[in-house]
Amino acid sequence: MKDPELTENLVARFLNGECSESELNELLAWAMQSNQHQKDLLDIKDIWDASLPDKQNTQNQLLYFYKSRYEKSTRAYLLFLRSVASIAALLLIGLLIRLTIYSNDPVNPANLQVFTVPLGSRSNVLLSDGTEVNLNSGSKLSYSNNFSKENRIVSLTGEAFFHVKSDSEHPFTVQTNDFDIRVNGTQFNVCSYREDIFSTATLSEGKINLKLNHSDRTQDVKPGEKFILDRKSKNFTLNTADVRQETAWKDGEFIFKNISFPDLIKRLERWYDVKLVVDDPRLIKYNYSGRFKNQETIWQVLDALKLTSPIDYKKTTFREFQLSYKVKLIN
């Protein structure tokens, strides 16, 4: 390596952990050439390492330390048995209290299978009856342990796309906070986040029957229709919908047509696990249309927004951005 710039680039790649095995070999050879090289490399890496922000919770580590010490010492000394016994007694009392409190609960949580998808990611679940479920960011799917081909009931908060295995004898039921959906074999999208104003269901194939909670009203939904429920007033509408747009998220795409700004913000926050703070009411009145892929970073999305609308953004903390209104000068 004669060119010093090549070495510089190599070192920079090494620091960020982006070197291939052969590049590492090259770097090692360079470092072994002289003590000065070695010192240069290690001093630079030292600054790099020391500038890493501290993320550890030391207090928790200390607790962990004491806990592991305690566990070790209880194994070693019989003397500790007495204190263990008293702690066990306390735990037992606590457990009994807990049991009495929760015994009214008809659903025993121990018999529940729960899938939770954190913000910023998506996931697939294949149920034992052959039904496929795509789960969007921040969603939770649960079903009881005796879920089977005959007993097909699941609960959902958040957004999911169901591809239900067809079985006309045994209907498949999706329970949400606002309505139950009963189907035989279809494909549909349900979006029912706790914090949203609307809960929706969009059908792509087959037929679904929707029953509102806390009332006897039912509604059939046909392919290409979107059922929109105002969660507060419990009023609903049926619109024709672009099914592809509604379900694009499961293929890692985000297509939106004429959605309101708060809606857009909420989706981006879930999708990227970030917090977007909007402090200017002027931004709220805009509607947005657009399309992008999930591989794009939040930076790229915000940059695109910045280019096409009077928005500027600024990073405030680790996962938080502040959006502000910026008058666009038209030349």
Partner 1 sequence: MTMTDFDTYFLKYHPILLLFTRKFIEDEQQALDLVQEVFIKFWEKGVVSQNEGQVKSFLFTSVKNNCLNYLKHQKVVRKFEQQFALRLKELEASYYLSGEKSLIEQEAMKKIEVAIDSLGDIYKEVIFLSRIEELKNSEIAEKLHIPVRTVETMIFRALSLLKEKISSKTILILINLNQLKK
Residues of this chain that interact with partner 1 (CB under 8 A) are: 5, 8-9, 11-18, 21, 24-25, 27-28, 31-32, 38, 42-54, 56, 58-59, 61-62, 64-65, 68-69, 297, 299-300, 318
Number of H helices, E strands in the chain: 9, 18
Minimum distance of partner 1 from residue 150's CB (angstroms): 43
Closer residue to partner 1 (CB): 19 or 228: 19
Closer residue to partner 1 (CB): 25 or 116: 25
CB count, 10 Å around CB of 222?
11
Burial of 278 (0-12, 13-18, 19+ CB in 10 A): middle
What is the phi/psi pair of residue 237, to 5°? -135, 160
Minimum distance of partner 1 from residue 302's CB (angstroms): 11
Q: Is 187 in contact with 164 (CB distance < 8 Å)?
A: yes
Minimum distance of partner 1 from residue 277's CB (angstroms): 18
CA dihedral 5, 8, 9, 15 (to 10 degrees): 180
Closer residue to partner 1 (CB): 46 or 230: 46
Tokens, residue 278:
């909007």
Minimum distance of partner 1 from residue 118's CB (angstroms): 18
Closer residue to partner 1 (CB): 21 or 105: 21
Closer residue to partner 1 (CB): 121 or 297: 297
Closer residue to partner 1 (CB): 63 or 87: 63
Tokens, residue 7:
């070495």
Buried b or exposed e, range 242-267, using 16+ CB within 10 angstroms: ebebbbbbbeeebbbeeeebebbbbb
Closer residue to partner 1 (CB): 58 or 168: 58
Minimum distance of partner 1 from residue 36's CB (angstroms): 13
Q: Which strands sit side by side in the sheet containing 311-317, from one edge to the other? A: 275-278, 320-325, 311-317
Burial of 206 (0-12, 13-18, 19+ CB in 10 A): middle
Minimum distance of partner 1 from residue 265's CB (angstroms): 21
Minimum distance of partner 1 from residue 328's CB (angstroms): 20
